[in-house]
Amino acid sequence: MPSKTLHVFALVWVLASYQQQWIACSERPPTCDSLIYCHGQLLHTIQMAGLYEDSKSFVDKSLKYNVSTTLRTFNKLMSDTDQNPSKEQLLDFVNENFLSQNELEDWIPEDFVEEPEFLSHIVHSKVRNFAKDIISIWKILGRKVKQDVFKKQDQHSLIPVPNGFIVPGGRFQEYYYWDSYWIIDGLIVTGMTKTARGMIDNFLSIVERYGHIPNGGRVYYTRRSQPPLLTHMAKIYLDATNNISWLKKNIDLLEREVEFWIKNRMVKITVDNVSHNVAVYHAVSLGPRPESYYEDYMTASYYQTAVEKERLYIELKSAAESGWDFSSRWIFDESGENNANITFLQTSRVAPIDLNSFLYGAFSNLAKFYQHLNNERKQKHWHHLANTLNHTINTLFWNEIDGIWYDFDTILHQQRRYFSPANFAPLWVKAYNTHPKSATHVIEKVIIYLKMEGIPDFLGGIPATTLSTGEQWDFPNAWPCLQSIVVEGLQNSGVPIGRHWAREFAERWVRANMYGYNETGHMFEKYDAEFPGHYGAGGEYRVQTGFGWTNGVVLRFIQKYYTD
């Protein structure tokens, strides 16, 4: 079949698929059940009025009164204004019925110390002082849920958890799923294993309630998740503590969270007459994201029909589930390339190489956990699933010519040959042990690929992609978590050339972070790959300071590359 015909056929197939999905639309759930925070006339009216620069501001407020009283007051306002209240009237309504800043209290972790033992091993005095300053930020980012949230849960969007935790910072005054992995890793570097365990226990309590971990700690996140790193958190905690009794107590919940992804995010595709089960991001619920309601509504206004709008809302939420909100990784034009904008998101069409790698790691972790618990049957089960996915990663996603793994287009059945640090996720979880070539061969190919893409030229960090779109998960933004994936993947390979570049990229990142901190007094959520220490830009909101995972990554790099 000619290439152009194939692309047209694929587009028709996609549209037909979306039409079929819409048939069951009435059965789809809203983002959550709350008529305040997730769906309904109140949310729509207030968010579309543009009362706040950031749509998240409203849905993070708490109710002064119960839900029925608030809705009754709102309905009276709508009736009195003939369904057309002014912006000033809506602002008065919000101020009279909602509160801000009353869900969390500042919290200093019990195991926090100003100068943990690891500081004494840092060779360079400037780096030691920098690390000490970063450690002090844990106190600033520490939070605990107030008791009122537990007592009146329907009056808050916050999902209460029993233990204190570290927030990312800025607009993100709640816990987030994948952010917390790098926060916990940084806590472990500084000896704060009790706080790390408390954060993992919080997530386990959420799995018990919801069957999975939401994107973040708000009810409007509950029908989407984020990259599945819970078992990875458990692994680094166990590596630091060897707390097997904790593992025995929690193994069922760790397994339950992974099973959510198998049951809800795996699809079967057949390529060259071989079937593969691959994971995709696919967060299905009605309407715009509540925390980005206005933005999503306006993005979807490009489309004319409810079917098309709802399709885009799902893709926007699926991109948010990926953590990469937003990126050219999820964008398709008519030919299957990425020369378009977020109006043309098709996140759930992509089998992401990083998601499948994270799940391979989760399967492997569970196999090791059950080995520790002497459960041979469960160990074999998860080991088999890990090996199967490992084989898929090294056949479907690996490109021997380019020497790297890529995302996979599940409709056109071809790799998406674009650069991103996500391509290195198989190294991070060591998902190359069934590769037909040796580890040395793989790493040497990967380093050639890095050089061909010009990545060593960027002194401010490894960029999210090499395509500049204005989205925050594209060029020139460099994200801490992505530096960690590349650096640790190369380091853990054991191959000398890989370890050389791991050190080079890590030291560049530490220098850039230190320069930015000395200039501004802040740690940022993302940086500019072209200008060391400069904060990143783009996306739906201003760059945020704090910043949880930035602190965790730089502390781990310092521990690995700047200590004796």
Residue 172, preceding peptide bond in cis (omega within 30° of 0): no
- φ, ψ of residue 551 to 5 degrees: the values are -65, -45
Catalytic residues: 325, 525
Alpha carbon distances (Å) from 148 to 89, 154, 323: 28, 11, 30
Q: Are 408 and 396 in contact (CB under 8 A)?
A: yes
Largest Cα span, the chain: 74
CA distance 497 to 18: 47
Q: How many CB atoms lie within 10 A of CB 137?
A: 21
CB 144 within 8 A of CB 107: yes
Provide the 3-class DSSP secondary structure of residue 331: strand
How many degrees, rounded to 5, is the angle at CA 184 between CA 265 and CA 32?
Answer: 40
Find out whether the peptide bond into 476 is cis, omega within 30 degrees of 0. yes
**What count of residues does the chain have?**
564
DSSP state of 218: B
**478/484 Cα distance (integer angstroms):** 11
In order, the DSSP letters of 510-533 are HHHHHHHHHHHS--BS-EETTSTT
Cα–Cα distances in angstroms (integers) from residue 4 to residues 16, 142, 336, in the given order: 19, 55, 10
Residues sharing a CB contact under 8 Å with residue 53, sequence separation 6 or more, in sequence order: none
Nearest to 190 by CA among 563, 555, 561, 560: 555
Q: How far apart are the first and last CA of the chain?
A: 61
Q: Provide the 8-state DSSP code for 118.
A: G
- Concatenated DSSP letters for 128-189? HHHHHHHHHHHHHHEEEE-HHHHHTGGG-SB---SS-EE--BTTB-S-BHHHHHHHHHHHHH
Residue 26 tokens read as: 């009435």
- Residues 38 and 219 sit within 8 Å (Cβ to Cβ): yes
